[in-house]
Amino acid sequence: MTRSVIMGTGSYVPEKVLSNADLEKMVNTTDQWIVERTGIRERRVAAPELAASDLSIHACREALAAAGVDAKEIDLIIMTTLTPDSMCPAGACWLQAQIGADRAAAFDMNAACSGFVYGLQAADAYIRSGVMKNVLVVSVDIMTRVVDWSDRSSCVLWGDGAGAIVMGVAENGRRGVIDSQIRSDGTSADMLVIVGGGSRLSPIKAEDAASNAHVLKMRGQETFKTAVRCFTDVCVETLEKNGMTIKDVDVFIPHQANIRIMEAVAKRLGISMDRVVVTIEKYGNMSSATIPVALDEWVREGKVRRGDNVLMAAFGGGLTWGAALVEW
């Protein structure tokens, strides 16, 4: 059976750093609280004139170069984001024009922080079915645009960035995407929500903006507990379905939402933290971008080797969650 393979990775984070010390001047918080409760020391902030496609360009160019694929050979662009350039057209279309992928179909997918795993599964299905050959998946979020800067329990968590992969047909049919599982639970949609900008609250009126309808609202503790359970369950299910255990996993890349969530999941799964990729200290939670940015960094540092089994797992608004298992 045809398998899809990740042929190249790329990532981009904006230059501007927002440190915990900077946040101490903005809200009633401390560096110590943020580090102890979340593991975050700093995050990146996109310049005001930049939109999701602008951040994506750099990540996509890197991924295309690493894959040895020209933009004109791309059949499909999937941008996973909850902060696209515009409601219409899709951020993927703005990006398509900028990278010159003129043969590609392009659309956005919103699965919040789980976007990358959702996007990877869609690309894998397109490729395995023979409908598409080369698919560019870019996961990008500019979370600092939708943060409530007056809510100290939330504003300290988020950052901006983009990560991309080029996927294609595995040549020997062996290495590549082994499996992926995605899940959602809309009954808990209100756990993590941005109402403004959607059709339930459009156009935004002055009073809506004044009541912060356009920013992210999150029930943090509930999200934390649900994330640990869902992360763990979907990883175990994915491994079991493929006759594997956590001992077969060489590299585990969880969505970077909180170091305590990652440690709790690693403990439940029985994997030591030296096999868990952690970038949250530098970037905070970049929503769907966290996994591909972390993957790209480890690939470039030579920490992911040919033949390694890489498990990636995400959890986010929707609720949505999922896991992908890849033989590198």
**Residues noted as catalytic:** 113, 255, 285
Residues in the chain: 328
Which C-beta is closer to ligand ACO: that of 8 or that of 84? 84
Q: How far is the CB of 155 from ligand ACO (least distance, A)?
A: 8
> Given candidates 41, 133, 152, 217, which one binds ligand ACO under the rule CB under 6 A?
152
* 267 within 8 A of 252, measured Cβ to Cβ: no
Task: Locate 94 and state its tokens.
Answer: 């703005």
CA distance 108 to 305: 31
Using CB under 6 A, which of 220, 229, 268, 278 touches ligand ACO?
220
Q: Name the residue type at position 191.
A: M
CB of 152 to ligand ACO, least distance (A): 4
| Residue 74 vs 253, nearer CB to ligand ACO | 253
Shortest Cβ distance from residue 223 to ligand ACO (Å)? 4
CA distance 301 to 21: 29
Among 264, 317, 321, 324, binds ligand ACO (CB under 6 A): 317
Give how far Cα 96 sits from Cα of 25, 50, 57, 59, 191, Å: 39, 16, 9, 13, 33
Q: Which of 118, 211, 120 is nearest to 164 (CA)?
A: 120
**Residue placing its CB nearer to ligand ACO in the complex, 129 or 221:** 221
Our finding on whether 83 is near ligand ACO (CB under 6 A) is: no
Binding to ligand ACO, residues 255-314 (CB under 6 A): 257-258, 261, 285, 287
Distances (CA, A) of 32 to 38, 48, 127: 10, 29, 46
Size of interface with ligand ACO, in residues (CB under 6 A): 25
Helix (H, G, I), strand (E, B) or coil at 165: strand
Interface with ligand ACO includes 221 (CB under 6 A)? yes
Q: Which stretch binds ligand ACO (CB under 6 A): 161-169, 178-186, 215-223, 233-241?
A: 215-223
* Distance from C-alpha of 262 to C-alpha of 259, rounded to nearest angstrom: 5
Residue 105 pairs in a beta bridge with 76
Binding site residues, ligand ACO, CB under 6 A: 29, 33-34, 37-38, 112-113, 152-153, 156, 192, 218, 220-221, 223-224, 227, 257-258, 261, 285, 287, 315-317
